[in-house]
């Protein structure tokens, strides 16, 4: 216990009140025990029917999608699928989607638009898969096209960054009317380690890079990049999946309610204006 100058014992600062540095948030966001896409689907959906394939190449397991209901609301759910076991990690490529995954996401998003269902996306990826085959099949084009499709989608889109929001791989399904982040999630154009390597040629400076990048939910809310922060249980979402999922469900339903009744064309106009306003701090 800390001691004051006059000899009296000072109360120790509660753990919850201590500042959590950006790099600590990164470590929490990457924690393998955090709830992943399948956990959220099981805990917040009344039902879920997965749909498969991009109708061009294959069914990428790094990005999963299907129709389900949340609190009685029929929605399309899309999300990066990291997996919880080594086998799942390998089959889903640790949540790093190939072009096939983004093309599947676009196909399903247009289907949701046709049926008038809102789209809810769960973002948790280190980034799009950078492998040779992915590049040969048009990774950059698929991400660019996905940005266009989601920007012009005439149905409500709610985005939740649940863990890592890495670069274009995250952004491809993160263009939405309401973008939310879990308290210990991170969202950035590059990882702290990658940034430190480029700027200082020194990976040990990742903590400094993390602070400079402003990648935490709190920082991004202040900058206007996201619309809200979803609180997590004490110690992080990995400590209590059920409580974390409950908070996410509540936030999604509140966001969908805010978007109810807005005409499709107006939704698109507002989404475009929101994107154009980013980076304008004056």
For 204-235, the pLDDT digits (tens) are 999 999 999 999 999 999 999 999 999 999 98
Placement of tokens 């805010």 in the chain: 258
81 three-class SS: coil
Mean pLDDT of 132-140: 92
Alpha-carbon span 42 to 217, nearest angstrom: 25
- b/e sequence 96-111, b meaning 16+ C-beta within 10 Å: bbbbbbbbbbbbbbee
Mean pLDDT of 137-147: 95
Alpha-carbon span 267 to 204, nearest angstrom: 44
Identify which of 236, 168, 173 has the alpha carbon closest to the alpha carbon of residue 26.
Answer: 236
Q: How far is CA 15 from the centre of its chain?
A: 26
> If you classify domain 20-277 with CATH, what class do you get?
alpha beta
pLDDT digits over 161-220, tens only? 999 999 999 999 999 999 999 999 999 999 999 999 999 999 899 999 999 999 999 999
Q: How far is CA 115 from the centre of its chain?
A: 24
| Residue extents of the structural domains in the chain | 20-277
Looking at 201-239, list the stretches that DSSP marks H as alpha helix, in order from N- to C-terminal side.
206-213, 217-223
pLDDT digits over 2-30, tens only? 444 444 444 444 344 347 899 999 999 99
- With vertex at residue 184, the alpha carbon angle to CA 162 and CA 215, rounded to the nearest 5 degrees, is 90
Question: DSSP assignment, residue 12?
Answer: P
Residue 122 in contact with residue 235, Cβ under 8 Å? no
Residue 27 in contact with residue 235, Cβ under 8 Å? no
With cut-offs at 50, 70 and 90, classify the pLDDT of residue 245. Answer: very high
Residue 240 in contact with residue 38, Cβ under 8 Å? no
Pairing of strands 157-166, 119-125: parallel
Alpha-carbon span 121 to 109, nearest angstrom: 10
pLDDT of residue 281: 66
Count CA atoms within 13 Å of residue 14 on its CB side: 4
Task: Tell me the residue ranges of DSSP E strands in 142-273.
Answer: 157-166, 178-182, 186-188, 228-230
Share of the chain above pLDDT 90, in %: 79
With cut-offs at 50, 70 and 90, classify the pLDDT of residue 37. Answer: very high
Residue 35 in contact with residue 184, Cβ under 8 Å? no
């Amino acid at each position: 216990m800390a001691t004051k100058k006059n000899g009296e014992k000072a109360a120790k600062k509660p753990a919850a009140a201590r500042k959590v540095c950006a790099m600590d948030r990164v470590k929490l966001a990457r924690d393998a025990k955090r709830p992943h896409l399948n956990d959220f689907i099981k805990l917040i959906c009344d039902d879920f029917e997965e749909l498969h394939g991009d109708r061009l190449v294959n069914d990428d397991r790094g990005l999963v999608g299907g129709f389900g209901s949340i609190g009685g609301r029929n929605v399309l759910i899309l999300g990066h699928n990291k997996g919880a076991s080594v086998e799942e990690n390998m089959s889903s490529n640790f949540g790093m989607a190939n072009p096939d995954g983004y093309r599947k996401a676009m196909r399903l998003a247009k289907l949701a638009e046709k049926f008038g269902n809102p789209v809810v996306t769960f973002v948790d990826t280190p980034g799009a898969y950078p492998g040779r085959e992915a590049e040969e099949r048009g990774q950059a084009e698929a991400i660019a096209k996905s940005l266009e499709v989601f920007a012009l989608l005439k149905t409500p889109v709610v985005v939740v960054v649940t863990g890592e929001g890495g670069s274009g791989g995250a952004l491809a399904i993160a263009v939405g009317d309401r973008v939310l982040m879990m308290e210990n999630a991170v969202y950035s154009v590059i990882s702290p380690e990658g940034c430190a390597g480029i700027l200082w040629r020194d990976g040990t400076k990742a903590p400094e890079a993390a602070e400079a990048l402003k990648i935490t939910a709190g920082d991004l809310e202040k900058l206007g990049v996201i619309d809200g922060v979803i609180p997590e249980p004490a110690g992080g979402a990995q400590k209590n999946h059920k409580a974390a999922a409950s908070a996410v469900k509540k936030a999604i339903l509140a966001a969908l309610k805010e978007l109810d009744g807005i005409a499709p064309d107006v939704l698109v106009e507002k989404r475009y204006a929101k994107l154009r306003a980013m980076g304008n701090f004056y």
